[in-house]
Amino acid sequence: MKNFGIQEALSQLGVRKKNPGVSTGRKWYKSTGKTIESFSPVDGRLIGSVTQADEKTYQQVAAKAVEGFREWRKWPAPKRGEVVRQVGEALRKHKEPLGKLVSYEMGKSYTEGLGEVQEMIDICDFAVGLSRQLHGLTMHSERPLHRMYEQWHPLGPVGIITAFNFPVAVWSWNSMLAWVCGDTCIWKPSEKTPLCSIACQNIVNEVFERMAVPEGVSCLVNGDASVGQWLSADANIPLISATGSVRMGKAVAKTVSERLGRSLLELGGNNAIIITPNANLDIAIRGSLFGAVGTAGQRCTTTRRLIVHEDVYEEVKQRLVNAYQQLAIGNPLDPGNHVGPLIDKLAVKAYEDALRKIKKEGGDLLIKGGVLEGKGYESGCYVKPAIAEVENSFSIVQQETFAPILYLIKYRTIQEAIELQNGVMQGLSSSIMTNNMREMELFLSAEGSDCGIANVNIGTSGAEIGGAFGGEKETGGGRESGSDAWKVYMRRQTNTINYGESLPLAQGIKFAI
């Protein structure tokens, strides 16, 4: 199998065969934790390894994050923004090798890997502007000669737990905003993609050392679920931002809530596109296709359900079947391929289990799917994207299967379509394909989509960093990235100043001695 310059990319990023997995920004720590080996789903080869954090080393890193916060919060926000600007410039310099590593270690296409690094660059640019806009409000006091206002202060060390499917972008969404807000960060990446975290830490370390950023502002603790548990239970970490499964999110939320900390949760998605008779079907098919098979169905915003009006159902079905038959599946670093591998063989097993459950519940597989074998598929992680006609009530349809399986569901009225769209426990992303203004406005109204993201005439995936990203229900309710998502990384303080010579009390209370 072609190498596509992987070794050169690893060298440029400072990723070695054996890497320490723990850092406080100025130094790398040796720990007694187990070794985590990273095998590429592209070809099954060992890329490299990292050493997991043990509990003692974690405590050392956490202490450095607390210590670093005391100094970092004193830096003016625009100066912190300048540091993030320099990180963005370093990412531009390393965009191609980092995008290549993302593709090779995670399995998404190279163009998607480059897109993920571009997201990092974009959030840097956004955060730089934000560093001069961390503004509060002024309010009129009911008392004479009093002034009221609110301001936002740095919150403290932020714990960031990320998933394998976006091994670098989600960390950047959190860290770049947290840094300009004056927080320090402790990143616990997925143990399935540890080398991406090493590359990012190397890039940031070089910038931070050059700009004399305090140690502890950017911390990295590689490891399994136990490291995430230490982070979640740490009373010195006021905010835990966790991205992953609903099961993981519930565990994090329970642990954090027991110490009355804050959780920012980005969990499962079961996203649907409604295709109405008033849709431009060329746009609808294209949006549905990328939404369903992009990243091999391993995005939290992947299109899992197509809710199609009965008048256009057969045409949509046939066009999708034809499109699926033209998909090229193979090495994601090869620009001629549309679909790469699943992350590992556990994901393949979940995919096969889902196909069996579809049949068991009475679904009809239009594109049967299956695991690919032979030359180019030696890793055992390549599968065929599948399409199934189902009912929304099927238990397997109610679940999120992280694989390229698309469910087709028929509807008659727009109200029925919206009920089907909302009829799952997840509430991340949604879309409607229509040129009818009334359908569009109903979908976007309070009685329409119950998701955190609702799109018109675009698919469910591919969110821009300018908008707040997140969802409702079992998706967790968190918001990251754009808009005013920065506020979760800060604490609000209300201030009242009496500049008079008497002390009137609020609500007209009289208190005299």
Please indicate whether residue 266 is annotated as part of the active site.
yes
CB 480 within 8 A of CB 123: no
Residue 329 is classified by DSSP as: B
Q: Which of 124, 219, 300, 381 is catalytic?
A: 300
CB 94 within 8 A of CB 203: yes
Q: How many angstroms separate the CA atoms of 235 and 260, rounded?
A: 9
CB atoms within 10 A of CB 193: 23
Q: Which of 215, 266, 400, 480 is catalytic?
A: 266
Computed from CA positions of residues 342, 343, 344, 345, in that sequence, does the dihedral angle turn out positive or negative? negative
Helices (H) and strands (E) in the chain, counts: 15, 26
Q: How many angstroms separate the CA atoms of 187 and 165, rounded?
A: 16
The side-by-side arrangement of strands in the sheet containing 138-140 is: 138-140, 146-154, 490-498
Residue 95's SS3 state is helix
Residue 30 CB-half CA count within 13 A: 0
Buried b / exposed e over 32-41, threshold 16 CB at 10 Å, is: ebeebebbbb
Q: How many angstroms separate the CA atoms of 184 and 229, rounded?
A: 19
| Helix runs in 158-245, H state only | 169-180, 194-210, 225-233
CB atoms within 10 A of CB 447: 10
Please indicate whether residue 196 is annotated as part of the active site.
no
The residues annotated as belonging to the active site are: 266, 300
